[in-house]
Chain A
């Protein structure tokens, strides 16, 4: 049992499974992502509700948002998702060098996204005077995008740790499931942003 079976089978010694035949780590991550879906669903709903029925005195979102900046950061996040998928692909083939480059670019793009978010938030607070407490638009917007940004930050930290870990020599092909879990999380952050971009930004401009 400690010898790996034919390529493509699950290595039971390192990737424990139950009767589902799915490695536990992967199952855990999918279950977590399902719950995170519900979390973001609630935050997005709250934002949408108060955009559909705004209390009097709510600022006009079009005056505040900058669609160019947000489009740019959306594109960056999409590309980072590609890099992440390539990273997972590399480690599954045991190519550590390619893994490290892919992880590095993912981290870089993630940081650029975060930088754009920080710039946008500062612009909204200091120049456009939209804060988390001074209007319902601000509250729902900052809570939603702030939570998403926090998820991205946690992802970037995790990616960095994984990148550093890959230099210790303890990350090998049989640990591909760990990078894959990381990939699932990062892609999830991306798809949430896809929904947020449409629901929060694009809908304002119709």
Chain B
């Protein structure tokens, strides 16, 4: 962008803004380190993915801030250095964090625990493969290899770098494959888990497994930052509190649930169709339908109409919801769908 010729003022403004991003990001990195500091870490799969995230994201951020300086960006722009940067932040950053999260919350979502051995194996393949693929790209970029070309001359000096990256890519692919195959296998045949398999600190783990329709019996009162950790150590006090709140809720007509409405989904279908019409359908390819009311406009209008009608019916439903009454053991006794309450 600094190479678009937009003038010194704009360039300076954007360079400053880009550099400014590094400040809160740096704060975040220190926050995360601070969260881990002095902790009794158990190196299970979610933890090693999270630590991997921290390290890889930081590397990506460092190469990113190198792009914020306009003169240095003038060299790096359009080269593989940029590819290396954004893959480090996207794969090293987003993907590692996503994998960590999926692993961690898998027991809550599906009631089964993923095997530690296969989780760790997938991590090491992904980690090694990812670094072998994208680290050489920093050098390739510095040596001048441009982006978005499908081939290059054999005597540019880029051969070894690209070969290394390719080998790394295959290792990364194996790692990701192991990860997803493990997930799918665990979904069907994994070891079933009890409530709170990680001895966790946060409230979502206080739910039974699988979580009931109404989620929480009583809206939890949060006593500490790590609400569930506190509750586990003050069981009696919390149980008394919950019994009181349960009585109050029952007096007010039970647990209030929102409507289970199909209209939000239908509205999204409408938007999807409308967006297809606006963004995807190419008038040039539909030249045999001349005039304004061709496929593009028709699809857009149909999508828009579906969205409009869905939103209208959704609004007319009202937001009263219904109420649930519970038995002693937490199963649903009855549901109250009377209007106006």
Contacts and interface: CB of A to CB of B under 8 A. Distances in A.
Interface of A: 1-2, 161, 165, 170
B252 A2 contact: yes
A2 B341 contact: yes
B306 to A, nearest CB: 16
Nearest to A178: B315
A161 B312 contact: yes
Contacts of B312: 161
B307 to A, nearest CB: 12
A201 to B, nearest CB: 29
A165 B315 CA distance: 11
7 contacts: A1-B252, A2-B252, A2-B253, A2-B341, A161-B312, A165-B316, A170-B318
Nearest to B308: A157
Contacts of A165: 316
Interface in B300-341: 312, 316, 318, 341
Contacts of A170: 318
Contacts of B252: 1-2
Interface in B190-238: none
Nearest to A154: B308
A133 to B, nearest CB: 14
A5 to B, nearest CB: 15
B301 to A, nearest CB: 14
Contacts of B316: 165
B70 to A, nearest CB: 23
A165 B341 CA distance: 19
A81 to B, nearest CB: 24
A165 B252 CA distance: 29
Interface string B45-80: 000000000000000000000000000000000000
B61 to A, nearest CB: 28
A39 to B, nearest CB: 17
Contacts of A2: 252-253, 341
A161 B312 CA distance: 9
Which 5 pairs between the two chains have the least Cβ-Cβ distance?
A1-B252, A2-B252, A161-B312, A2-B341, A165-B316
B262 to A, nearest CB: 20
A107 to B, nearest CB: 17
A170 B341 CA distance: 13
A1 B249 CA distance: 11
Contacts of B253: 2
B5 to A, nearest CB: 16
A160 B318 CA distance: 18
Contacts of A1: 252
A148 B314 CA distance: 26
A148 B318 CA distance: 29
Nearest to B256: A13
A194 to B, nearest CB: 28
A66 to B, nearest CB: 26
Interface string B166-202: 0000000000000000000000000000000000000
A171 B269 CA distance: 29
A54 B312 CA distance: 44
Contacts of B341: 2
A1 B9 CA distance: 58
A55 to B, nearest CB: 17
A170 B253 CA distance: 22
B28 to A, nearest CB: 25
Nearest to B253: A2
A161 B314 CA distance: 13
A19 B318 CA distance: 24
B269 to A, nearest CB: 20
Contacts of A161: 312
B336 to A, nearest CB: 13
B325 to A, nearest CB: 16
B275 to A, nearest CB: 17
Nearest to A1: B252
A187 B252 CA distance: 38
A2 B256 CA distance: 12
A161 B308 CA distance: 12
B43 to A, nearest CB: 39
Nearest to B339: A170
B264 to A, nearest CB: 16
Contacts of B318: 170
B247 to A, nearest CB: 14
B109 to A, nearest CB: 28
A165 B312 CA distance: 11
Interface string B236-270: 00000000000000001100000000000000000
